[in-house]
A = this chain, B = another copy of it.
Amino acid sequence: MRKIGVVDTTFSRVDMASPVIEVIKSRISDAKIVRYTVPGIKDIPVAAKKLIEEEGCDIVITLGWVGKTLTDKLSYLALSIGLINVQLMTNKHVIDVTVHEDEAESEEELYKIAIDRSRKHAENLVELLMRGREALTKKAGKGIRQGYPDVGPIRE
């Protein structure tokens, strides 16, 4: 059985955990999902670490939502440094999904980005967990995107 952690926030304006869980369950029959919900993005790193160390998760996906102000961007930086530290302290992957409010003009567009990015990163999580470090190698350098259509490789 594979234990997979999912961290989300009450700050987020889209339920990104549902598409993530749906993808994981459809791909890994014996997946055990362990949820953790925190207020905002700066609370995410310790939740991810606790899921790995206290709940025995093999991998974690985190679902953050980032506002538009400079303060929000600095919080995003602190989150990013923190999640990389969690990974270096545990030698486990933490797939870090964030949606930024300055990515789109309309709420409709933000919604689509959030769902698409969540689903595609859940696929990445499954690949890394089930097939290891070369699972994604066939897509290396191919301009793959989450939240948007792939831009593709630059041809010589």
Taking beta carbons and an 8 Å cutoff, which residues of A are in contact with B? 8-17, 34-39, 42-43, 45-47, 49-51, 53-54, 66, 70-71, 73-89, 91-96, 100, 102, 107-108, 110-111, 114, 121, 124, 128, 133-137, 139-146, 151-156
Contact = CB atoms under 8 A, between A and B. Distances in A.
B84 A38 contact: no
27 contacts: A9-B140, A9-B141, A10-B144, A11-B143, A12-B140, A14-B154, A15-B153, A17-B140, A36-B133, A37-B134, A37-B140, A38-B93, A39-B124, A39-B144, A42-B96, A43-B93, A43-B95, A45-B87, A49-B88, A50-B91, A51-B133, A71-B102, A77-B77, A78-B80, A82-B85, A88-B89, A111-B156
Contacts of A140: 8-10, 12, 15, 17, 37
Identify the interface centre among A84, A96, A156: most chain B CB within 10 Å of its CB.
A84
Q: Which 9 A-B pairs have the closest CB atoms?
A: A15-B141, A46-B87, A78-B80, A82-B84, A10-B144, A37-B136, A13-B143, A36-B133, A37-B137
A74 B76 contact: yes
A112 to B, nearest CB: 9
A136 B10 contact: yes
Contacts of A85: 82, 84-85, 88
B135 A84 contact: no
B73 A84 contact: no
A141 B99 CA distance: 12
